[in-house]
Structure 1
Amino acid sequence: MERLADFVVNNRIKMAFVTMLMAFAVYAGIPNLKLDTDGRVFMAADNPDKILLDRFEQEFAKDDNLAIVIVPKDGEVFTPRTLGAIGAMTEELWNLPYVRLVNSITRFQNTYADGDMMVVEDLVPEPSMVTDAEAAAARAVALDRVEIRNSLINDDASATAISVIFRLPGVDLVTEIPDIISEAEPLLERYRADYPDITFKASGSVAVSQAFATASQRDGETLTPAMLVAMLVVVGVLLRSVTGSLLILILAALSALVSLGALGWTRVPINSATAVAPLMVITLAVASSVHVLSSVRQTMQQTSDRTIWARRALTDHGLGITVAVFTTAIGFLSLNFSISPPFRQLGNMVAGGMIGVWIFTIFLLPGLICWIPIRQKKDTASVDRMMVALGEFVIRNQKRLLVGIPVVIIAFAAGISQIKLEDDFLRYFDESFETRQATDLYETELGGLNVLEYSVETGVENGINSVAYLQKLDALSAFLRDQPEISHIRSLSDTIKRLNMNMNGDDPAYYRIPDTDEEASQFLFLYELSLGYGMDLTDQINVDRSSTRISAFVGYATTRQLLALDDKIQGWFDSNAPELKSPVTGQSHVYTMISARDVPSMLQGTTLALIFISFVIFLVLRNLKLGIVSLVPNLLPALMGFGLWGYMVGNVTLAVSIVVAMTLGIVVDDTVHFMLKYANARKRGDSAEDSVRYAFKSVGMALTVTSLGLVVGFAILGQSGFAVNRDMAQLTAITLAFALFVDFLFLPPLLIFLDRMKQMKISATPAALAALLSTGILAATL
């Protein structure tokens, strides 16, 4: 690296010019960036669950919806004032973009017998002029209808909902959902002002998708700047250099813009997952630049020549930075094993940003060191003195540490046994988000927003009119209603039974499936002819009438609970109607399976990344033993972090599943620099102990400053109300703290022990062998 250092420092003006010219070429892609607000961006086109969902929605309908929860403060929906508000809002909601259907308690299609005729009409035909008596009559009907109870109305008529179903064109996903929200929010605000005695809140898939899109923006406006400031303050205090913090800020900003510009050139919209990519690049830029500035801080004790500061920093740390950047990029590229496109894009964006980090650190930072005034400090930094003392402590207590640290590691890593795959996409937002408040209110007062969908096929045209089929459909409906997790189901069998009763003078004895196929067909035909505008059954019956849709609504459900519930339903099919067996689908299920499928996929990617990283370290050090040993400090922090997470939280979400791949890049940075310094000292003939001393002296300050700065920064981001950012940041902070612990207290004794084994060519002590073996077994097994 000495020749490269001389070339860069001697040609620093040219290097800066070329570097910035390349950077601005990449930055030109930033104006192409757009925000994708569609929550389905997490579903890959080749995802088998997504393919099944698409087929289901083509057969019936695509149900992107807003669920407007309405709770009168007097505890009664069926009053003239509240029904008037519901009726007026129902009519106005038809004016939102892309609306296919608006359904509410006032517009529910009520059927009843009138002599020999069947009447189909709105439950409240004139909501603005309803009387107390009419409201009471409507209440009685609504609470008797299983089709809407715990869906449009709750059991005590204290809460209701308006369901707005949209047919999104899918042409411009960047604008379609924001267009809906931009018109819906003013409408809701107006009704809140006009009816202060009624609570109005909006949930549903459209509101959740918008919340996903805006959550990262919200953090970007508050927590991300606070995180960056905290990191720079920590670095500045420990390096005792304001100018150093300024240089880091410049490099971090330039590198983050590279990741955004690169994405802009691909014309791929930014989303809630890729929105954190610039933040990741900033943290990694801090890690790289701190090594250079720590070297400058040490070199300035010997000379005031800035060119020497820059040259020595690049000579001593250039290789380590290059290897660290390359291995970090490998770690993030392993996100391409994710089945979710946004996480693949995140990995590629950060990998692209790492190229920017390397170019700016190697070719621009040396010039900035020469040009920007940095006050010379001739005294030894306090962190350096601490590192010298820590190195001596580790060498003195190497045997105790070699035996004791694995015990600590195993104790923490054992917490992995407490981890469960529990994800709830509806609650990725804390209570500060109105969407979360609305979701909790809806599921508390009305029922579930998670929906398990089944297309129950007959296999023949017009087969849904078969009495035998309808009876089995009714049996399935009864089974679903008996499940405590299910708050409401939507099934054609309920409608058919109601029609049969209506056509027999509303005799309750006829609330059952008709006796003949002809009756079922005729009743359904008459009903469909009588339905109001937009209230047809095309979202329940497919075109050739060979299949019907049955929907099970589940509240407060996690991925495990939804999968367990579907197992029970599939068991019912196997035992009672194997010929009708249908795979589960629906947006909730696809999100559930993304979590379930992504964890094993990411484990494969992370494992492959670890192998590649160890191979790179082997090529650089030309030492197979050190290449294998590098697995220990790279893997153990993640195991300890997940173990502590298991003790503290217990649940692993989709966001947490990418943390290993993400933190791997930062953890490797520490490992590479320490092992490179150790290997260089051994090559020049230093003893293992002296090599450890040299590594602590050379890079100990940089590792400490970087780790503390990043831990503090991620701890701040961990206060986010958005679970994707919060869980990722908290687990990252924990993992980085454990990485410093392992690199300082376990890796040096392990290196000394292995060198001693090689030199003495004798068997190691039983205790040391046991410590090494236990750690190896732990890493390999977990």
Structure 2
Amino acid sequence: MKLRDALLTFSVDRPKWVFALLLLLCLLAGLQIPSIKVDTDPENMLPHDQVDRVFHDQVKERFALYDMIVVGMVNTKTDAGIYNPRSLEALHRLSEQIGRMKGVIAKDLMALDRVDNISQEGPGTIRFEWMMRDAPQTLAQAAQIRQAVERLPLLDNTLVSGDGHAAGLYVPIESKSLSYQLSQQIEEAISQLGVEDQFHIAGLPVSEDTFGVEMFVQMAISAPLAGLMIFILMWVFFRSLLLITAPMLVAMASVIITMGLLIGQGYTVHIMSSMIPIFLMPIAVVDSVHILSEFADRYRPGEDARPAVMEVLGHLFTPMLFTSLTSSVGFASLAFTPIPPVQIFGLHVAFGIMLAFLLTVTLVPAYIISLSPKRMAQLKDHNIQEDDNSRLGRLMSLMGRLSMLKARLLVVAFSMLTALSIWGVSQIQINDNPVRWFKSDHRLRVADRVLNEHFSGTYNAYLVFDRNAQQDPVLALNSDLLAELDADPRSTQLKPELQQMMDDAASADFDQYASALAGLLDEAGFSRPADEEELWLALFRRVEAAQIDAKYFLNPEVLAYLDALASDLERHAQVGKVNSLPVLIKTVYRELTGGGDEQFRLPDSPRGVAQTILSYQSSHRPDDLWHFVTPDYRSTLLWLQLKSGDNQVMTDVIEHVDAYIDANPLPQGLSVNWAGLTYINVVWQEQMVNGMLKSLMSAFVMVLVMMIVLFRSFSIGLLAMLPLSVTILFIYGLIGFVGKDYDMPIAVLSALTLGLSVDFAIHYLERARAIYRQCGNWPQAIAEIYKGPSRAISRNAIVIAIGFTPLLLAPLVPYITVGFFLASIMAVSALVTLLLLPAVITLVGNKEKLFSTLNVEHESV
């Protein structure tokens, strides 16, 4: 084994070179860390050219939409709620302060003091005045504001809750990356208001950005705590601070070099890649624990450490290589997901795993050899007989006897457990929501609950409708005009005149072209001979009709369809409200035509719709119109306010719309699509889950092939996959059984399960083969296996499972999830390896034949 011998010889002969090279690598990697760039935006889970993301960005640009922070003010102590002078004065002051904050789009800030009250001034006229130009001085004035708000559908239950106990400020921001910073400034402004009302800050942008900030704070706490816990547990097992320093150095160096490589390549540290230390540390430690366990069993103080080191590394090198390769394959398979941050995460963890292997087989032996005889003499004597009488030793012996004596019962029990796990897997629900990444008592979770109880919803989704042009509108208009002229006997004489007008009005923009051409035709109706007047006016009316037809969403029939869809959506349990162009038009039209409830309807003609919209243009916020329709009136949207940002809720709403359109087909030439952060979260989650499933399946097959190659046996290869298979099914069955949603951290844990579970199987089977060949008797082999190798496996499982319990105390749910399931993976895979594997082998008739092909020590390595 040339590679093994070369590495081991180099490590034990030149330990100082190993230390120097490692120090140099760590220094080079550490120099990259100050240039770290952080990206906590889940939207970047999707490639920039992904279709849904491109459309989402286009919609934001076309409709001048911005990501928003929602600030809620709640007063439940008075019957009037927030409609009292003190609360409204505080709301007014807060709105003014927020409007002056850098990064806030002040002109689009929505608050009671920044919107219009729309009322009738007289027959056929409308009045726009500030809803709350100044804060009211009396309860009567506050009551008037309430009456005005409740009359305006666009404001009611959006700016003020239906019960009057909560008011909202919708704060549009220049960039999501400013969310956390602005939320801190807003909280500072709130603290100076001096009112007893409760204030809450919510919205996906602030939740995502806050998670990013707290994530790195938590990483700085959890990773060192996990490292400290692992260090303490290894000291409990090995009772030598000198000895256990080596694996901790391997873990630290692996993390530093891997993160330095990632940052040095210019990659941003995303939510996924920030968890590289948490995922890499247990894998970096497990091989070292195997080495320390074997070394502690063989070395006696006062002896030369070199023979023990060479012997231990000699038979552990290849199993550790293959366990590292399988773990690396598990994470590298994430490169096949369509999610860029997951690809980067997977590839760098795969690199870190192989780096940890290289450091384990070089740094650990170099470190042990470099210890002086005096220090080596301080090592506790970990002989097999002593360990046999320890609690762990007695437990291992018991498990060994149990696996052999109760083999059939164990196989039946694990089979039943697997069947139950398969049922649990079928119950898994794919769901995620960045707000739920915080614990239930976190201020953002509390804000989410309170504001969504009072308001229509703090989660936004946009249903976008576009008019599909059948042909170039200029060419279509010209064709219609020429056809109209051809029907007149004078067409031959007048066609050159019309063609000249078309040339004079020529423009790439249809609206400009039609307006210019209409002016020329109108002028011709007056300047040309009287007998031609009717013809030119007919052509003029044709242009006018084309202009109206081009402005598709001035059509009352189309608007009625959108209005009916919006009404249907508002009956959905999770849709709090739908704001739309039809609602705006109906509100203004009501005031133009008398102000009664019966006038709250759409005008009868496109001209009436256009006049209604023109009236709205005299308001203080005319640009608000363009949030609902584009200036060419060929695209519009429905703004859905959802009470939950869960993927399941958004998916259910999408399916509801699809069902409605199936039953009520879209008007001809109309297309529909979705946008908004809530929808984008569904897209990347689905792509991640599907990508993870494909990568898991492909990695599973690759690991199976590697096991068959490693053990040179198809049956042993399948046997090696047993702990992995049972563990994956159990973990994900448990997820489905307890009702835990399948979210981002759960999805990524599949790669960790793949690597850690097969690790134990490889070491167990390799040592079982060697021991069985020595004694030729399975009961005797079982007794020997559960003295040495089983302790290394159990120590590994205990060290990692308990070592990461500090994650359970984290305030962020993904860290708690990783901590719990990491411990579960280690415990289950160790139990399956130590109980089920020997039970299955016990039931195999010809063990000589089984183990005759089991030879891990390939000379090619």
Q: Given the two structures, how large is their TM-score scaled by the length of structure 2?
A: 0.83
Alignment match, 2:715:
625
Question: 1:355 is matched by which residue type in structure 2?
Answer: M
Alignment match, 2:226:
227
- 2:575, 2:238 → 1: CA distance? 58
Alignment match, 1:177:
177
Alignment match, 2:32:
29
**SS class of match (1:112):** strand
- Report the more deviating stretch, 442-451 or 217-226: 217-226
CA distance 1:156–1:73, change in 2 (3 Å): closer
Which of 595, 611, 619 is the equivalent residue of 1:522?
Answer: 611
Alignment match, 1:54:
57
Matches within 5 A, 1:236-251: 236-251=235-250
User: Is residue 506 of structure 1 aligned with residue 595 of structure 2?
Assistant: yes
Question: 1:332 is matched by which residue type in structure 2?
Answer: F
- 1:191, 1:386 → 2: CA distance? 60
Q: CA deviation at 1:59?
A: 2.6
Question: 1:96 is matched by which residue type in structure 2?
Answer: M
Matches within 5 A, 1:352-363: 352-363=351-362
Q: CA deviation at 1:28?
A: 3.1
- Report the more deviating stretch, 437-446 or 228-237: 228-237
CA-to-aligned-CA distance 1:34-82 (integer Å, 9 cap, x gap): 2213332223324433233223223323431110111135341121221
Q: CA deviation at 1:340?
A: 2.8
Question: 2:34 is matched by which residue type in structure 1?
Answer: P
CA distance 1:569–1:278, change in 2 (3 Å): same
Alignment match, 2:855:
none
CA-to-aligned-CA distance 1:567-616 (integer Å, 9 cap, x gap): 11122122224234523332111212332332232121111111111222
Give the conservation status (yes or no) of the 8 Å contact 1:338–1:598: yes
**SS class of match (1:420):** coil
CA-to-aligned-CA distance 1:87-135 (integer Å, 9 cap, x gap): 22212212233322211122222211112431122211222x5443221
Question: 1:124 is matched by which residue type in structure 2?
Answer: M
CA distance 1:3–1:596, change in 2 (3 Å): closer
- Report the more deviating stretch, 299-308 or 644-653: 299-308
User: Is residue 39 of structure 1 aligned with residue 45 of structure 2?
Assistant: no
Give the conservation status (yes or no) of the 8 Å contact 1:68–1:163: yes
Unpaired runs of at least 5, structure 1: 169-175, 762-782
CA distance 1:270–1:498, change in 2 (3 Å): same
CA-to-aligned-CA distance 1:695-729 (integer Å, 9 cap, x gap): 44442122111111211133331343322222233
Q: CA deviation at 1:261?
A: 0.6
CA distance 1:232–1:520, change in 2 (3 Å): same
- Report the more deviating stretch, 600-609 or 129-138: 129-138
Alignment match, 1:634:
724
Question: 1:83 is matched by which residue type in structure 2?
Answer: L
User: Is residue 156 of structure 1 aligned with residue 152 of structure 2?
Assistant: no
- Report the more deviating stretch, 228-237 or 750-759: 750-759
Alignment match, 1:72:
75
Alignment match, 2:90:
85
Fraction of identical pairs, as percent: 20
Give the conservation status (yes or no) of the 8 Å contact 1:215–1:272: no
User: Is residue 573 of structure 1 aligned with residue 661 of structure 2?
Assistant: yes
- 1:157, 1:744 → 2: CA distance? 63
Question: 1:607 is matched by which residue type in structure 2?
Answer: M
Give the conservation status (yes or no) of the 8 Å contact 1:259–1:281: no
CA distance 1:686–1:29, change in 2 (3 Å): farther
Greater Rg by CA: 2
CA distance 1:601–1:183, change in 2 (3 Å): closer
- Report the more deviating stretch, 342-351 or 464-473: 342-351
CA-to-aligned-CA distance 1:454-502 (integer Å, 9 cap, x gap): 1122346311111111111211121122222211111111110011111
Give the conservation status (yes or no) of the 8 Å contact 2:400–2:835: no
- 1:496, 1:749 → 2: CA distance? 75
- Report the more deviating stretch, 384-393 or 77-86: 384-393
Q: CA deviation at 1:160?
A: 0.9
Question: 1:98 is matched by which residue type in structure 2?
Answer: G
**SS class of match (1:99):** coil
CA-to-aligned-CA distance 1:504-538 (integer Å, 9 cap, x gap): 132332110011111111221231242338x5322
**SS class of match (1:110):** strand
Alignment match, 1:772:
none
Give the conservation status (yes or no) of the 8 Å contact 2:462–2:639: yes
Alignment match, 2:484:
none
Give the conservation status (yes or no) of the 8 Å contact 2:153–2:587: no
- 2:771, 2:8 → 1: CA distance? 20
- 1:62, 1:530 → 2: CA distance? 19
**SS class of match (2:846):** helix
Which of 719, 733, 740 is the equivalent residue of 1:643?
Answer: 733
- 2:337, 2:314 → 1: CA distance? 38
Question: 2:655 is matched by which residue type in structure 1?
Answer: D
**SS class of match (2:70):** strand
**SS class of match (1:563):** helix
- 2:716, 2:266 → 1: CA distance? 42
User: Is residue 595 of structure 1 aligned with residue 603 of structure 2?
Assistant: no
Matches within 5 A, 1:479-498: 479-498=568-587
Give the conservation status (yes or no) of the 8 Å contact 1:256–1:279: no
Give the conservation status (yes or no) of the 8 Å contact 1:394–1:749: yes
Question: 1:102 is matched by which residue type in structure 2?
Answer: L
Which of 537, 559, 564 is the equivalent residue of 2:652?
Answer: 564
- 2:701, 2:18 → 1: CA distance? 35
Question: 1:706 is matched by which residue type in structure 2?
Answer: N
**SS class of match (1:423):** coil
Q: CA deviation at 1:184?
A: 4.0
Give the conservation status (yes or no) of the 8 Å contact 2:116–2:619: no
Q: CA deviation at 1:228?
A: 2.5
- 2:379, 2:845 → 1: CA distance? 39
Question: 1:90 is matched by which residue type in structure 2?
Answer: S
- 1:530, 1:3 → 2: CA distance? 82
CA distance 1:281–1:13, change in 2 (3 Å): same
CA-to-aligned-CA distance 1:266-298 (integer Å, 9 cap, x gap): 211112222111121111111121111111211
CA-to-aligned-CA distance 1:168-227 (integer Å, 9 cap, x gap): 3xxxxxxx724x533441342232243241222211133112122023223224433333
Alignment match, 1:121:
129
Which of 127, 130, 142 is the equivalent residue of 1:135?
Answer: 142
Alignment match, 1:20:
23
Question: 2:238 is matched by which residue type in structure 1?
Answer: L
Question: 2:418 is matched by which residue type in structure 1?
Answer: I
Matches within 5 A, 1:361-440: 361-372=360-371, 373-374=375-376, 375-378=378-381, 379=383, 380-381=386-387, 382=390, 383-384=392-393, 386-440=395-449
**SS class of match (1:705):** helix
User: Is residue 715 of structure 1 aligned with residue 715 of structure 2?
Assistant: no
CA distance 1:432–1:232, change in 2 (3 Å): farther
- 2:266, 2:53 → 1: CA distance? 23
**SS class of match (1:349):** helix
CA-to-aligned-CA distance 1:112-162 (integer Å, 9 cap, x gap): 1112431122211222x5443221111111123221222211112100110
- Report the more deviating stretch, 215-224 or 487-496: 215-224
CA distance 1:225–1:21, change in 2 (3 Å): closer
Question: 2:405 is matched by which residue type in structure 1?
Answer: R
Q: CA RMSD in A?
A: 2.5
- 1:475, 1:242 → 2: CA distance? 73
**SS class of match (1:212):** helix
- Report the more deviating stretch, 405-414 or 598-607: 405-414
Alignment match, 2:814:
724
**SS class of match (1:710):** helix
- 1:335, 1:662 → 2: CA distance? 11
CA distance 1:713–1:537, change in 2 (3 Å): farther
User: Is residue 213 of structure 1 aligned with residue 218 of structure 2?
Assistant: no
**SS class of match (2:117):** strand
Q: CA deviation at 1:551?
A: 1.6
Give the conservation status (yes or no) of the 8 Å contact 1:27–1:258: yes
Q: Given the two structures, how large is their TM-score scaled by the length of structure 1?
A: 0.91
Q: CA deviation at 1:650?
A: 4.2
- 1:757, 1:11 → 2: CA distance? 43
Give the conservation status (yes or no) of the 8 Å contact 1:452–1:585: yes
